[in-house]
Structure 1
Amino acid sequence: MSFVCRPAVAQIHIPTYTGTPLMITGGVLNQQILHASVPGARPSAHVDRADPVSTLVPEGRSQVPRQLAQSYPPEARSEAQRFFAELLTGYQSIEQRFGIPRRDLAGAVAAFIAGSWMAYRGRPFPDRYFPPLVEQSRRILASLPQLREATAPARQETYEQLAILGMFMATTQMALDRQPDRATAAKVRQAAKDYLEQFLSVDADRVSLGPKGLSLE
């Protein structure tokens, strides 16, 4: 099993792997928010726990599929943009399947970590571990004043980026499960390692996902 909803994935055209899109760092939520997903992160002393920050993202015009496609060669950008838009739409099935509120940043964070973990470890991510990971992400994000101060476009950009990249890594790993390719698998594993380490600021080998969410070995 995988946390990716297989009927939805079956409708997504997975192009031949030509490289992994780069994470967008400029213009998204502060890296402090991203790094706060590390276990042990502490909320600011100024945060009122009785008034947590909402992790829901307002509706807005989608820009991230086009932005991510810019890391591809010019002749491949149009297809890449369509593909990333499909992944973003496909992610909605994950929200529905696990009862995650629509456009919840916590779900996108969990999907990104789970998808990258799948690609790095080269194996499926158990469904039962996903809800605890979402809840862990929500608790941490909701405690951060940076999220309260973030603009609606910044929230949306981060939500879309993480949802798309999480789906990208998961669907690519599923494609490799169906049709193994050692060279491609090595590239995808390296990309997943880079994602995890950039996002969590820890060695990817230390990242463990289980019934209590994310922990460090």
Structure 2
Amino acid sequence: MKYRVILPALLLALGAARPASAQCCGYGMSYDNVVVWPQPDLRVPVPSVTEAKKAKPVLAKAKPAVKENARKLSMHFPPAQRAQVEQYYVESMATYLKLEKKMGWAPRDMAGGLAAFLVGNYMVLKERNVSDEEYAAVASQLRAQQGMQKMGDNADQEKLRDVFEQSAMVGVFMAVAYMAHEQKPQPSAVYDNLRNAARENLQLVLKTDPARLNIDKNGMRFQ
């Protein structure tokens, strides 16, 4: 996943931010949205090309609410930085939609947004880039799982939209932060704060220690 490097102010904001544990995990989604997440079953292998084509994508069909979801995510940052961070999240969603098109996925495919969340936080935690091939494998792995398919039966389409948008925003946001750090390493205290947030984000949705998580061309596995 490759993104443009944003202003150093982003990492300064990350360094100053503190998780609001009652509402979110690190720089992640609201807890209510995390509850909607289909917990990935990492025992399920990445489907074959034939199997992947059979998995009907679950789409976020409600009217987009990018600005509102960006505002919600920005509330987990210090007040003086919220307007700037909100704009970063809006830009992150625009970047995600371009990536989604590049990958050839159906517009607003839930699996792509959730995979972005996992991959972006993984990049920060493990301090390594993730290729498009690896990212696609994670998305395919999620798309074919029963938990993902059941999401399409959820009557609350606005909730699904919020999960999709916030997942994609946070994933790209974290990936961009990692890429910025890779180009210009930040003080250890700043990056440690970011890494801790990534660890908490992943633990919240995976329900286990993300230190064992590995992502490669075969998708996600616990080592």
TM above 0.5, yes or no, is: yes
From 140, 144, 155, the equivalent of 1:139 is: 144
1:64, CA displacement in angstroms? 0.7
Contact preservation (8 Å) 1:197, 1:204: yes
Q: Is the 2:58–2:149 Cα contact (8 Å) retained in structure 1?
A: no
1:60 — aligned with what? 63
State the alpha-carbon separation in 2 of the partners of residues 109 and 61 from structure 1: 16
Aligned partner of 1:74 in structure 2 is: 79
Matched pairs, number: 199
Give the gaps of 5 or more residues in structure 1.
Answer: 42-50
Q: Which amino acid aligns with 1:58?
A: K
Structure 2 unpaired stretches of 5+: 18-25, 45-53
Give runs of ≥4 in structure 1 deviating > 4 Å: 51-54, 141-144
Identity of aligned residues (%): 23
Alignment CA distance shift 1:53-1:122 (3 Å):
same
After TM superposition, the structure 1 = structure 2 runs for residues 132-211 of structure 1, keeping only pairs within 5 Å, are 132-140=137-145, 144-181=149-186, 182-211=188-217
Cα shift readout 1:145-181 (whole Å, capped 9, x = no counterpart):
3441241101110000100010011000000011101
* CA distance in 2 between partners of 1:21 and 1:92 (Å): 20
Secondary structure in 1 aligned to 2:220?
Answer: strand
Give the deviation of 1:34 after TM superposition: 3.1
The alpha-carbon deviation at position 40 of structure 1 amounts to: 3.3
Q: Secondary structure at the match of 1:205?
A: helix
CA RMSD of aligned residues (A): 2.2
User: In structure 2, do the counterparts of structure 1 residues 145 and 123 end up closer, same or farther at CA, with 3 Å as the change threshold?
Assistant: closer
TM-score by length of 1: 0.83
**Partner SS state of residue 60, structure 2:** coil
Which digits, 9 at most, give the CA deviation of each residue in 1:17-41, with x for residues without a partner? Answer: 2235342112x2644x432x13137
User: Quick one: distance in 2 between partners of 1:107 and 1:141?
Assistant: 16
**Residues 195, 146 of structure 1: CA spacing in aligned structure 2 closer, same or farther, 3 A cutoff?**
same
The alpha carbon displacement at 1:142 in A equals 6.2
User: Which residue, out of 25, 34, 37, partners 2:38?
Assistant: 34
The 5 A counterparts of 1:77-88 are 77-88=82-93
The correspondence of residues 49-128 of structure 1 with structure 2, limited to 5 A, is: 54-62=57-65, 63-128=68-133
- Structure 1 193/129 Cα, relative in aligned 2: closer, same or farther at 3 Å? same
With the length of structure 2 as denominator, give the TM-score of the two structures. 0.80
